[in-house]
Each structure stands twice: as C-alpha cells, then as structure tokens.
Structure 1
C-alpha cells in the first residue's frame, strides 16, 4: 500500500547501460550471473534506517533541513516511518535493511518503556517483512547519541551506565533474533577518550572486553546463529577510540579470546579516516580471518570528517569488491548503504536516486572485480612476484627447519648478492584501469 510520500514513482527496474532514466538501474540486474552467482546474492544490498529515515539533515555546523511527515516522538509516527521505509525497500528491490533501536522507536521515560516500544515496532516490522520479503541484515543499539553515553557505554566510568548499555544491547539482540537478523553489530561511537588526564585505558579496555564477551555468551544462550560484528571507527567523535581500525580490533579480540567469535563490519569512510584505503582494511580482515560485512559510503576528501556520502567511484568499488571476492564473498554479511543525502537534497526522489546510483556503482565495481579474478589479471603477476617462496629451501626457512646460523651460512657460501626486481606498480595500475 502506497504512503503517498513517493508520489506516483514506480518500482526501480534494470533498463541497461543505454537508459537515461534517473530512477532505473543501468548496471545492476539482480538476476545477472557473475562467477556462478546472481548479482543480488553477491552484493546483498541493505538500506540503513538511520540515515534514510531518522536523520534530519543536520551537520556539525547547522541544524535540520529535512521536513519529513514521520518526524516526531510518537509510536504512530514510528509506524508511519516504517510504512515509508518498507515502501522504499520495495521500490528499490533491496533485499535487506539495518537499524539501531533509536532509529525505529521514540525514547521512553524509562528503559522498560523504551524496550516495550522496540518490541512493539518489531512486531510491526515482522508484518512488513512478511508482506514485502525484505529481510534484516543486522540490528544494533544506539549507545552514543544520548547524553548518558557522553563518556562511553561499555567503557563508561559509571557502572550504572555500563549496566544500562548492557540491558539495551540485550533487548536489541533479542529483537534481531526475533526478526531473523543475520548479524548483530556493536558500533562503539563513543568508546574512547578525549583526554588521558581523566582516562584509565587499561580499565576501559577490560570493561569493553567483558561487555563484548557477555554479548557473545548471551547470543549463544538464546540460540542466535547470526554473526557478531564490530565496526572499526577512528577518532570521531573522540580523540582516540578503542576500535580504531581492523588491526586494532583484532588485537583487542585476541586479548580477550574472541578472535574466533567476532568479525568486523568495515565502513569505507572509517577506513579513510583511519589513514587506510578501503581495500587495505578488507584485505587485512581477510588475512586475519575476521571479515564479516561492509558499510558502503564515501567521504569528501577535502573534508576531515565522516561525510557519509553515497559511493560514486567505480575504481574504488572495484578494488574493494576484488578483496571481498578473493576472500570468498559475503557469508552472512552484505553491502549496507551507511550513506545519507546532502542537506540540500530535500525531495523524495533524491532519496531513491541516491540509492539507485550507489547500487549501480557497486554493481559495476563487483563485475569489474569478478572479471579481473576470472582472467587472473592481478593474480598471475602476484604469484610470479612471490614464486621464489615455492623453492624448497625458502619453504624450509619459514617452516622452522633452518636456524638463523644455517641461513647465514647458506648466504655466505653462496657468495652472490640478491638483485632487486621491479614491483611494476604502474603497470598493475594500468591493468586495473582496463577493467573499470
């Protein structure tokens, strides 16, 4: 049933690369088979509830610019918001959505009331999901917006805030399981510090480790068989955050024996803020065995903060999906558009067009990545570069079958110097450009 918000706009369909329709897919045909799998099953697109339906258009320098008919603090308006959200999921044909608790229900006077409201809207979601076929990629709790979390949630110096956050997460895990969510994300928006003058880092890391361990244990207890994810997030809004990047998260997981229990949800914009490329974070997560899912967006490279724009750079997407496909693709994860309109993009059509463009960009990137893999465009040069390590003596060094003395003696007796070989970076960059 139409809410009227999108007017007479029809469902977005695939029309091919020659189409000039701004509300049609030019490159994303969900049924196109790539590397033996449908594009929809490769990409597993999800719409973020918070940016698309809860965000009012503010930024660090200005307030609300959007005027949506569902803005307000009543359950009636929360249901209207859900009506519009699921209408948009259907128009776009996206198979999944994601949400925080605070996105979908108004805050109650007490935690008990907030949980009751979340349960009520979850029941409403259940009906919508059954009608539209839209599934839940992941749920999460907002443990950063309310003033109670100004000094963190799991890492807060006040044990009452820690307990409040734990009870909130329990309710969100319950709802995620009830709705068939395939993952649960812990997003540490304020798990860090602004000054070491009032921070006990050792204590706070231990609190965060205990908190995460309890979440993992509870998920097992209730039979939640989805993946628990942490989203790396660097220095925004705090000076330092304990989940800064993939490497930092892995060290944290190892410290608390959770490296086999928790994976990462990697955001493109956060990777850039951490001083990395998106493909670096994806490749490292694969190497460490903790890759789970992605939040897709981009930052404005002239701004020093997380602008959360929709992706439009096909070469960047191709290199990202190259790493994802090399790692075997998504399992329970997917491509969530953690992206928001610009403050001046006021119209309902803008919300649809932004997702259409992002979906097409990702589809082009994945198809380019798949072709590079199928043709071994980068695989063969990489294998050639490391071919020396296939030699039996080289393998013996790494297998612990040679001591430092023995290796030294071998080099000295050989009497020849190793000769540098070109890394061929520019040649490889040209190879990539042929595909994008």
Structure 2
C-alpha cells in the first residue's frame, strides 16, 4: 500500500497568499521563533489511532471509511500495510513525530504470548521505517481500555489477573518506546475510575493505581529509559468518575504516592473543557505545579456533551494556550500531538491531509502570536506589578516564613488602614489578547 497517497504531493510551505488547500500558509518549519525553528518549538506529532485505526464508527452507527487494511486485524501483513501507509502519510505531510498505542500498530491478539510476539514483530518493522524516513517517536502508550477484560479498569480492576495483563502491556509498550527512541511514555487511564460507588472500594483502587504507576516508574529506571512518564487527565471518559479528572487532581494523586517528581501530565483541550476548565487553565496549572509535559491538541463541540476529538480551529484559544506553554519554558520532551479525528462524513483520504494541514497552520499562527505577546509581555508585566507587594515588606516576610499570624495581625492594627481595592483590568487584558490574535 505504499502507493495509497500517490495522488498527494508532499505538502510544502507557500505562504498565506497561496490558494492551494494542500500547502502550508503559516507552518514554515525552518522559521526562527524565539531562538528555535518553528519545527523545534512545536514538535508536531500525528497519531496512529484516529488516522489509521478508526473506521468512522460511533455509538450510533458502523464505520464509514473503507481503508484497505481495516477488517484484517489478526493479520501481520495488514499491520505492516498500515505501517507503510502511516509512514507515507508522515513523510508527505512533513511532521517530524508520531505517536501510538501498542494495539494500534500490531496484529490483534488474545493470549499474553501472542500479544508480546505480535508487538515485537511490528516494532521491528516500525524501526526500519523510522530509519528510512527519519521520523521520530514522540511517545508511546498501551491501550488498556478497549478490550472487554478492562471493563472494570486496568490497574484499578477488582481482579489482579487483569492488572497483571495490564502490567504485561505497559512493560512491553514502555520497552518498545525506549527502543524506538521515544521522548515520553503516556499512561492514558481510560477506565481507571468507577461507574458506581456502590460496588467500589475507592481507597483500594487508588492504592492499586498508585502502586502500578510506581512500578512503571521503577521499570523506566531499570531499563534506562531517559524520557518522561506522563498521565493524561480526563474528567469522565468513559467512567462516571475518573481518578485522574484534571491536572490538579493528578498532582494531588502523584503527591500522595510520592511521584510528583517522576511523573508529569499530557494535557488535552477537550478533556479540559469537559472538566469545566479552559485549556489555558490546565496548561498554567501544570506550569505552576511543575508537572508540564506534552499536549494532545484537539477540541470539543460545545453543543455536544462528550469528547468529540475534533481538529483544533480556535485561534484565540490556541494562541493563549501557546503563550502559557512558552511562558512555562516550551516543550522539552513533549510536543504537539494531534489527538484528533476527521468527521465520519469526511471519508476521503484527502480529508486526512486537509485536517492536518489546517491544524499545523493553526499552531504556527498561534506560536507566532504567542511569541509576539512574550516579546512585549503586557500580560506578564501586569501580573508582576499586581503581585509586587509580595516581594517586599510584610508580604515577603510572610512568604519567607518570618512572620507569624499574630505578627501579620499586629502589622494590620499598627497601620490601621483599610486596604484600597485595585482594579484587575480584565477587559483591558482581554483586549490585549484580542489584538495579538492575527
């Protein structure tokens, strides 16, 4: 299937005046932005699962796509065909990275031995493709949510035999990620939560999850993997209650099990909004807590109540998120993975390119907008001025632990002045962002 995309020419940068829909208008990978190339700043990845595994099905209807490798899930040759097509896509699109779950890439299996053998076979094949194309792995993960064995969770399952199968998957997916030079490894909780508290030992399940994550970190160090471990927060996907519902919850969990210096987060905008947060809130929370990792770029539909995984197209939202990503130091091992899928009615192979070209251009525009905001950092300067009182006087003494509650109270009595309210200038700052979006 190496000729599946032969009618698509490699995507080139032609500038914003180009009328060719299959060219980049803004993504100029070599352009310098804040001291790095655009390609280095964004570290764009394309995922296996939505693009090469999903056949267009949803809960109300069957698949609408007809990819040649669909329907041959137990066939190693079909897995190789899918890999050929995936790397041809990456090469024509020009993204530097890709991401995958273990089962995305391999022939389907049921027994533990079959799983290990099928994964090993396709990892050999992927390694060859990486060598011939120069494409790199951003991160890998294990799918511990799709198979019926995981209906009650993976590491949080009431049956330790299921947790053992999950351990098998994580071990070999992590080792595959290490072998392929991945920059990180993601633990996508999927069903690490509960549907009803009536049949659930919540404390027991959280201890199981904490121990499982600890074992994963221990194995990372044992095999010498230098990349990061990330959890992907999600509010209720698909269980009623997830133990990893947002960045703050994940940090509290990591802190409880002594893992806050070992594990970070992989943030998804659609999960942020389903948790009742903005995308930029989750990014800045990760910065504040010191667990920033990577981003799964996508969006939801505000008129739907679930994770629709649509390609991002909101320039203002993406600009503001990119501003906080850059303010947090930018990507290190992480990057910009498109955890997004074309719509069920977008069934032509060309639609895969339209979606990614548009999304890459969006990130490029957001990056340049955010860089301009940082060069003339009106937001940052305003925040520094607003909190300047904490750098001197009693504010500084309090933060340095040199003032007691009684001393603070006596200070207030001695001044005997009611503090004057100061404007937060929200509308002014919103105008600053609006004017930066170009």
TM-score, structure 1 normalization:
0.98
CA distance in 2 between counterparts of 1:361 and 1:391 reads 42
* Matching residue of 1:89: 90
Residue 382 of structure 1: how far off its partner (Å):
1.2
CA distance in 1 between counterparts of 2:58 and 2:67 reads 17
Residue 106 of structure 1: how far off its partner (Å):
2.2
**Residues 1:253 and 2:254 are matched in the alignment:** yes
Residue 388 of structure 1: how far off its partner (Å):
1.7
**Residues 1:62 and 2:68 are matched in the alignment:** no
Q: What is the aligned residue count?
A: 435
CA distance in 2 between counterparts of 1:375 and 1:394 reads 28
CA distance in 1 between counterparts of 2:223 and 2:382 reads 48
SS of corresponding position for 1:378: helix
Report if aligned partners of 2:311, 2:338 keep a CA contact under 8 Å in 1.
Answer: yes
CA distance in 2 between counterparts of 1:230 and 1:393 reads 39
CA distance in 1 between counterparts of 2:310 and 2:89 reads 19
Query: Unaligned 5+ residue runs, structure 2?
Result: none
Residue 198 of structure 1: how far off its partner (Å):
0.3
CA distance in 2 between counterparts of 1:202 and 1:432 reads 44
* Matching residue of 2:178: 177
* Matching residue of 2:39: 40
* Matching residue of 1:278: 279
Q: Using the TM superposition, name which of 339-348 and 68-77 deviates more.
A: 68-77
Residue 354 of structure 1: how far off its partner (Å):
0.2
Report if aligned partners of 2:140, 2:177 keep a CA contact under 8 Å in 1.
Answer: yes
Q: Using the TM superposition, name which of 407-416 and 135-144 deviates more.
A: 407-416
Report if aligned partners of 2:394, 2:408 keep a CA contact under 8 Å in 1.
Answer: no
* Matching residue of 1:127: 128
CA distance in 2 between counterparts of 1:29 and 1:109 reads 45
* Matching residue of 2:293: 292
CA distance in 1 between counterparts of 2:340 and 2:419 reads 49
SS of corresponding position for 2:294: strand
* Matching residue of 1:22: 21
SS of corresponding position for 1:379: helix
* Matching residue of 1:373: 374
CA distance in 1 between counterparts of 2:378 and 2:29 reads 25
* Matching residue of 1:335: 336
CA distance in 2 between counterparts of 1:308 and 1:329 reads 24
* Runs of 4+ residues deviating >4 angstroms: none
**Residues 1:308 and 2:309 are matched in the alignment:** yes
Q: Using the TM superposition, name which of 335-344 and 167-176 deviates more.
A: 167-176
Residue 4 of structure 1: how far off its partner (Å):
2.4
* Matching residue of 2:240: 239
C-alpha deviations, 1:130-184, integer Å up to 9, x for none?
Answer: 1110000011000000000000000000010011110111111111111111111
**Residues 1:405 and 2:406 are matched in the alignment:** yes
Q: CA RMSD in A?
A: 0.9
SS of corresponding position for 2:378: coil
* Matching residue of 2:208: 207
Report if aligned partners of 2:78, 2:107 keep a CA contact under 8 Å in 1.
Answer: no
Report if aligned partners of 2:93, 2:357 keep a CA contact under 8 Å in 1.
Answer: yes
SS of corresponding position for 1:317: helix
Residue 392 of structure 1: how far off its partner (Å):
2.3
Residue 415 of structure 1: how far off its partner (Å):
1.8
CA distance in 2 between counterparts of 1:38 and 1:109 reads 44
SS of corresponding position for 2:39: helix
SS of corresponding position for 1:294: strand
Report if aligned partners of 2:185, 2:228 keep a CA contact under 8 Å in 1.
Answer: yes
Residue 320 of structure 1: how far off its partner (Å):
0.7
**Residues 1:139 and 2:135 are matched in the alignment:** no
Report if aligned partners of 2:266, 2:293 keep a CA contact under 8 Å in 1.
Answer: yes
